[in-house]
Structure 1
Amino acid sequence: MIGPWVTGSDYGSDKASRYTRAVVALRGLLALPASEARYYNAATDDSGAPLDGKCRYRLSGGALPAKWWSVTLYDPAGYLVPNAAGIYSVGSAGLPGSEQAAWQVAIGPERTGGHWLPTGGTARFELTLRAYLPSDGGRGNFTAAQLPRLTRIGCA
């Protein structure tokens, strides 16, 4: 565990444990080998509180050591959360070059301006960060300083 982010080093590997294989199968995760993608999941914020769809959060970070990345919001069963805006993920490809070094995304039931990931009214949610083509070739985990911060702003 790195902050709120949980990861496994054997996703997409023939060395994956039975537990990892079960998670991949249950979630329908099309796991690539670590040299092609790293996966980080968060079900809590930076303080350790469960992610609540009625609350507002700020996801903020800098340039990740990967070619590109995305963050997707899921319900606890691993499904995309329906929302009127039709927004299910945010990523580096959608950020202007000027924002790549320092970015932030609002997460919550209502848009507050800027980049936004809607919670769609779900009670609980989880985030999956996918970092594609990591610069270390997938040999290790990112550090806490490299991973985005997930800060609760307030609740309705």
Structure 2
Amino acid sequence: MKAWQRYAIFMVLGLVGGTAFAVQQVRGGLSDGVVPNGPWETGKSFGTLDASALTRAKVALSGLLALPAKEAMYFTATRDSDGRKLDGRCSYDVRGGTLDGRWWSITLYEGEGWLVKNAANRWSIPASAVSTDAQGRWYFTVSPDAQSGSWLPTGSVDAFDLTLRLYHPAADIIKNPEKAQLPIIDRKGCA
């Protein structure tokens, strides 16, 4: 084999290997710099100038379309409050209280940022769709079956995640998202 052929083979192998590694890193989820808070996770650098090129690529790939942190913070849950993966064949109560921001919504996604197909055409619960008691507590149900009150359908998918968007969060939440009072996710039962 001639020298130029060896060089060509090694160049192709290097390009293929480097590309595979880069794709694996970007598709690896938003795990670098993640801050946990109960079943929720966020990143301190999402939507900031401090975000690395890898974080920006991951945010772009996930479809998060992150606004600057002072305008919105994003918390994602892939597990319930007991640490079990969120399963679309199960029902959950999502309960919370006053969130320290101007407005919030929780959206249900399947897999890589896709909305779940469902007959009810519901994908998100905004703050305005839940009733609160005198202490500011609220709840809604996530379930494959229709529910009364505020409800998000899972479409009976194998796995899903919830994304909490907190718009105009308080400075304390931006600085210490691990201390924010976020909703709990309780599994009620599975079909």
Same fold (TM > 0.5): yes
Secondary structure of the 2:168 match is strand
Q: Which has the higher strand share?
A: 1
Cα 1:151–1:97 shift into 2, 3 Å: closer
Residue range with higher mean Cα deviation, 90-99 or 41-50: 90-99
- Percent same amino acid among aligned pairs? 46
Q: 1:36 deviation in Å? A: 0.8
* Conserved? CA contact 2:130–2:139, under 8 Å: no
Q: 1:21 deviation in Å? A: 1.3
Structure 1 position 119 matched with structure 2 position 137 = no
Structure 1 position 7 matched with structure 2 position 42 = yes
Unaligned 5+ residue runs, structure 2?
1-35
Q: 1:96 deviation in Å? A: 4.5
Q: What CA distance in whole angstroms lies between the structure 1 residues aligned with 2:98 and 2:130? A: 11
* Conserved? CA contact 2:96–2:138, under 8 Å: yes
Q: Which residue of 2 aligns with 1:95?
A: 130
From 166, 172, 176, the counterpart of 1:140: 176
Q: 1:140 deviation in Å? A: 2.8
Greater gyration radius: 2
Structure with more relative contact order (C-alpha pairs < 8 Å, separation 6 or more): 1
Q: 1:136 deviation in Å? A: 1.9
Pairwise CA RMSD of aligned residues?
Answer: 1.7
Q: 1:108 deviation in Å? A: 0.9
Q: What CA distance in whole angstroms lies between the structure 2 residues aligned with 1:94 and 1:104? A: 10
Residue range with higher mean Cα deviation, 134-143 or 118-127: 134-143
Instruction: Give the 5 Å matches for 1:21-60.
Output: 21-60=56-95
Residue range with higher mean Cα deviation, 16-25 or 86-95: 16-25
Task: Report the number of matched residues.
Answer: 155
Cα 1:99–1:128 shift into 2, 3 Å: farther
Q: Which residue of 2 aligns with 1:72?
A: 107
Q: 1:17 deviation in Å? A: 2.3
Secondary structure of the 2:148 match is coil
Q: What CA distance in whole angstroms lies between the structure 1 residues aligned with 2:76 and 2:51? A: 17
Q: What CA distance in whole angstroms lies between the structure 2 residues aligned with 1:132 and 1:57? A: 24
Cα 1:41–1:99 shift into 2, 3 Å: farther
Runs of 4+ in 1 over 6 A off after TM superposition: none
Q: What CA distance in whole angstroms lies between the structure 2 residues aligned with 1:47 and 1:68? A: 27
Q: 1:29 deviation in Å? A: 1.7
TM-score (norm 2): 0.76
Q: Which residue of 2 aligns with 1:155?
A: 190
Q: What CA distance in whole angstroms lies between the structure 2 residues aligned with 1:132 and 1:100? A: 21
Q: Which residue of 2 aligns with 1:81?
A: 116
Cα 1:108–1:3 shift into 2, 3 Å: same
* Conserved? CA contact 2:100–2:169, under 8 Å: yes
Residues 85-117 of structure 1: CA deviation (Å, up to 9, x unaligned): 000000212235657811111001012211101
